[in-house]
Amino acid sequence: MSNPLVDMQKPNIIFCIGTNMTECHPVAATGLKKAIARGAKLIVADPRRIGLAEMSHLYLPLRVGSDTALLLGMAHVIAREGLIDEEFIKNRTTGFDEFFEHISQWTPEWAESITGVPAKDIETAAMWYGASDKAAIYYTLGITEHICGVENVQSLCNLALMTGNIGREGTGINPMRGQNNIQGAGDSGALPNNYPGFQSVTDPKHQAKFKAAYGKEIDLEKGITKVTALELCGDSIHAMLIDGENTLLSDPDREHCEHALRSLEHLVVIDIFLTETAELADVVLPATAWGETDGVCTNTERRVQRMRAAVPPPGEAKPDWWIICQIAKRLGFKGFDFGAPKPIFNELCRLSPIYAGLDWERIEKSEYQWPVPHKEHPGTPRLHEDTFVNGKGIFSNVHYRDPAETISDEFPVWLTTGRRLQSYHTRTQTGRAQGIDYLLPEESLEVNPADLQKWELTDGEWCKMSSARGSINIKVKATNRSPRGTVFASFSFADVPVNLLTGSGYDPVTHTAELKVCPVRLEPL
């Protein structure tokens, strides 16, 4: 997030797109509810009539995968109506003239033809956002899990840059991170393109720095992403070490994924349960869980916080860091003589400019949001206040692209996937918490009531849902949350493995799968 969580109470215009925040980040959503109670206006763009949509002042029910078109149409209106921040554009950005020219063709009427959202509503959204000097954007995976995830994010940046709605209280571009330490995993360098602290691996300076630190010359080329690695399993990838991820259920195209992991010569999984993924491993190593492990995590607002052990682990379970060190030492690797998490975190801080001012003791009270470049630095709750990391904000002349697969006679229904309030990811955790079943005992497919007859479905009965990759059986639930022609299911339940169907395409830059769009066919069972 560019802005801190406390800022969520501050905007006058809130633009939520592709985020089901009241279910997926419920506590963050309380900030928005307070802003609304204070008089802020909420614009929600989402294919489904989610909880946020019910709370909104303007709801834009766009077709799945058409976000770029909607955002281009909004940019067009903002420019046409003269709602741009000329001073901000002049001082802080580059490429506006070309962008201005580019967006002149993408009228709201054109956007309506792609998104299905009435042009006048697109105009209203643009006018509200453009006219406000305290407008904030919030998004989640509904923006990124598309083949055009990068263009979607760039389109949001365009809106913020042209109106100057960034770098101040109550503004910003704010992606909500989905897992407790997914931000920290990236910060720590578990990425194929970056060393710890987002230092590019293709920069020889960084290569030299880490050669000095690790005593090993590391490739100057980027590594491959997980998605590519899974494609190359059995071909050029022959061994994997997976820590705490149920790849098989969480990733798209389960059959492909299972085949990939099975074709490895050597698979080692570190986890707290014998997940579907761990069942395929040659060696499964039991890790300590949350509540049993001392360590550090970083939240969606870049706040670096301590996690603390409260109870001892079961049996012989060991912390992840200890397990990795033991394997490394057996392979003769240097620099793995750690006896506690503290020196590991402190080593990370020393090598990472964004954590340079931090250490194990300093984060005791959760006070710091990175970047914290040196020990006297107070941290950075708000990014981009005076300057952008790369100097000027760059406008991107993006184009709309259709999803990887579009509906056809064979697969005439849009399936979109996501999460639910009461379950988390593949339910390895919430599925084992007593009482959760009372609220959410099983998965079901949300279908608009008016579509039931057309597809010969019955509310509460089972149906067969097929995509180009496979079929699953799932119970039908009639609800107006789904628009006509679009259905929804979460990927949380192992007995309804929705990710058997998904995986039609990937963003070419980030390799994020298009989990939000998958044409399917529905048949009664």
Partner 1 sequence: MAQAMLDKIQIDGIEVTFSEGETVLEVTQRHQKEIPTLCYDPRLEPFGGCRLCIVELEGARNPVASCTTKAVAGMVVQTATDTIETYRRTLLEMVIGENREVDVHPLRGYASGELMSLRDKYEIEGANITGAKSGTSKADDNPFILRDYELCISCYRCVRVCAEQEGDHAINVMNRGFQTQITTEFDGLLKDSACTFCGQCIQTCPTGALADKKALRAVDEVTDAQFNKTRTICPYCGVGCSVDVLTTNEKIVGIHPAMDGPANQGALCVKGQFAYDFVQHPDRLKTPLMRGEDGELHETTWEDALDKAAEGFKKVHAEHGRHSIYGIASGRAPSEAAYLMQKFIRAGFGTNYIDNCSRA
CA distance 154 to 140: 14
Quote the DSSP letter at residue 281: -
Phi and psi (nearest 5°) for 175?
-75, 135
Q: What is the nearest approach in angstroms of partner 1 to the Cβ of residue 501?
A: 14
DSSP 27-74: HHHHHHHHHHHHT-EEEEE-SS--HHHHH-SEEE-PPTT-HHHHHHHH
Q: What is the nearest approach in angstroms of partner 1 to the Cβ of residue 338?
A: 8
Q: What is the nearest approach in angstroms of partner 1 to the Cβ of residue 498?
A: 12
For residues 45-74, which are near partner 1 according to CB under 8 A? none
End-to-end Cα spacing for the chain: 45
Do the beta carbons of residue 321 and residue 354 sit within 8 Å?
Answer: no
336/455 with CB nearer partner 1: 336
Pick from 2, 152, 155, 299: which binds partner 1 (CB under 8 A)? 299
# chain residues binding partner 1, by CB under 8 A: 149
Contacts of 486 (CB under 8 A, 6+ apart): 47, 48, 63, 64, 413, 414, 415, 416, 448
297/463 with CB nearer partner 1: 297
Q: What is the nearest approach in angstroms of partner 1 to the Cβ of residue 485?
A: 26
Contacts of 332 (CB under 8 A, 6+ apart): none
471/510 with CB nearer partner 1: 510
For the CA atoms of 472, 477, 481, 482, what is the dihedral angle to 10 degrees? Answer: 40
Where does this chain touch partner 1 (CB under 8 A) — which range of 126-134, 246-254, 451-459, 463-471? 246-254
User: Which residues share a beta bridge with 59?
Assistant: 44
For residues 369-428, which are near partner 1 according to CB under 8 A? 421-422, 424, 428
Where does this chain touch partner 1 (CB under 8 A) — which range of 41-49, 313-321, 465-473, 479-487? 313-321
Structure tokens at 156: 């949001």
Q: Does 307 bind partner 1 (CB under 8 A)?
A: yes
Dihedral-angle region of residue 490 (phi above 0 means left; psi in -120 to 50 means alpha; beta otherwise): beta
Phi and psi (nearest 5°) for 41?
-105, 140
Where does this chain touch partner 1 (CB under 8 A) — which range of 62-70, 89-97, 103-111, 240-248? 240-248
144/158 with CB nearer partner 1: 144
Q: Does 248 bind partner 1 (CB under 8 A)?
A: no
For residues 433-472, which are near partner 1 according to CB under 8 A? 433-436, 438-439
For residues 352-371, which are near partner 1 according to CB under 8 A? 366-367
For residues 11-50, which are near partner 1 according to CB under 8 A? 22, 24-30, 33-34, 36-37
